[in-house]
Amino acid sequence: MRIWADVYDAIGNRLGDGPIVNVRSASVNRILDSIGDFAVEISGADGRALSLLQPERRVIVMIEEDGQPREMLRGIVRNLVWNETEGGKTFTVSGPDILNELARANLFYNAVYNNQAAQTILNSAFAHTPAWEIVCDDSTLTTLTFNGASVFTVLREVAKTTGRHFRLDEGRRVLFDEMGDDSGLKIYQSSGRGSFYENPDIALISRLEYRINSENIANVVSPSGANYLSMGLIYGVPQASYAVQQLINEFGAVYYLADYQSIDEYGEIQAVLSYTNIEAASLLIPDQTAGANALYKAASAWLERNSQPQHFYGCTLKNIHQTIRPGQKCFLQYKGDAWQGDSQTWPVDVLGDFWVIRVAEQFNQSGLSVNLELSDIDQVEQNDDEFMASFMEEVNRLE
């Protein structure tokens, strides 16, 4: 197995008289609908590498197994750390993956997309980053306004409001669609399956972690947009997933969506969803209706993903020979105890296809290891800052 790194300047010119070969270790985290990160450790004796790997340089790490090279990571150098250990001197460079370039390209002010297809909006935004390619043929209509937004913000908001996903593909290419494409990878328990080591499409689990998150469940949601935009104009209009419903309380009308299967299982859990970038282009009825429809699409996609507990399977794998990307699906079969933390276990019996949410790939002196975070729901686990719903304090119960 070989590993090496090439260094480029910000506009794509390759630097140095050849690749850096004194790579001690390299790691990358790929995340669905988000910017990932990387780290590369290099021998401190390599003065040429130290001079090349300066802040804001681009680094591409390649790895070769059985004569087959593939790109492991592509990132932007932001941090440099010098280390002195028993094994000698090293330095580590780290930073975000190359997708971070989109966070530094801005649409500036008054970007208005009124009832336009996702493809149209993203093509418009990516025109501000000519070095990048967006692969999208999604015709889902949405209404969004941006002031001071980066291209990455536009990408993220279009995904959020249409219920779609995006991921960094090869090079400077972003894929935007429903995802769920088959990775071709099948994951099994290690015991009794030694013959599978010769099959590149089969990975063996050396450790499985399992957890359930029900903290962010909500099954009655009322979305709001900018300037008090609501779903009022489409109340009573048949919709694809959930019917728009109305409650009148002492403060006025509340329009909401409900998942009754979830209510039967977990009780009624209410939340308000705030979409500040969804704003009607004018006060005219067609524009207000387009905004209301955009709110509905965003809220119904959110409700579908958050009305049930989310199950996560952390798979530490052996026998990986391919690049696995977030948004793909993998087949998982496992029956036995899975870890919950460092000391607790839980019995698991699982069989089926699961979403790849995160990919952590690491190379060091022990070889290559890959950890996949799989889930039955196509979203990254939300923390408190990312959880956009706030409980509806003014309404005791929607009926």
pLDDT tens-place string over residues 170-204: 899 999 999 999 999 999 987 654 555 567 789 99
- Cβ atoms 338, 345 nearer than 8 A: yes
**Predicted local confidence at residue 194, as pLDDT:** 52
SS3 of residue 212 by DSSP = strand
Q: Are residues 77 and 127 in the same domain?
A: no
What CA–CA distances, in Å, run from 137 to 117, 119, 121, 123, 157?
A: 9, 6, 11, 10, 17
- Among 122, 157, 177, give the residue marking a domain's end: 177
| Residue found by looking up tokens 């004194």 in the block | 22
Residue 396 domain flag: yes
Its domain, for residue 148, covers 105-177
Q: Is residue 364 part of a domain?
A: no
The answer as to whether 201 is a domain residue is: yes
Distance, in Å, from the CA atom of 66 to the CA atom of 319, rounded to the nearest integer, reads: 13
Q: Are residues 48 and 92 both part of a single domain?
A: yes
Cβ atoms of 61 and 73 closer than 8 Å: yes
Whether 80 and 142 share a structural domain: no
pLDDT band at 7 (very low <50, low <70, confident <90, very high): very high
208 vs 341, more confident: 208
pLDDT confidence of residue 198: 66
Q: Is residue 220 in some structural domain?
A: yes
What pLDDT sits at residue 347?
Answer: 95
**Tokens standing for residue 399:** 């009926």
* Claim to verify: residue 81 and residue 127 sit in the same structural domain: no
Cβ atoms within 10 A of the Cβ of 115, count? 17
Token pair for 110: 């008054």
* 49-87 per-position pLDDT tens digit: 999 999 999 999 999 988 889 999 999 999 999 988 777
Coil, helix or strand for 6? strand
Both 151 and 277 in a single domain? no
pTM (2 d.p.): 0.92
Q: Please count the structural domains in the chain.
A: 3
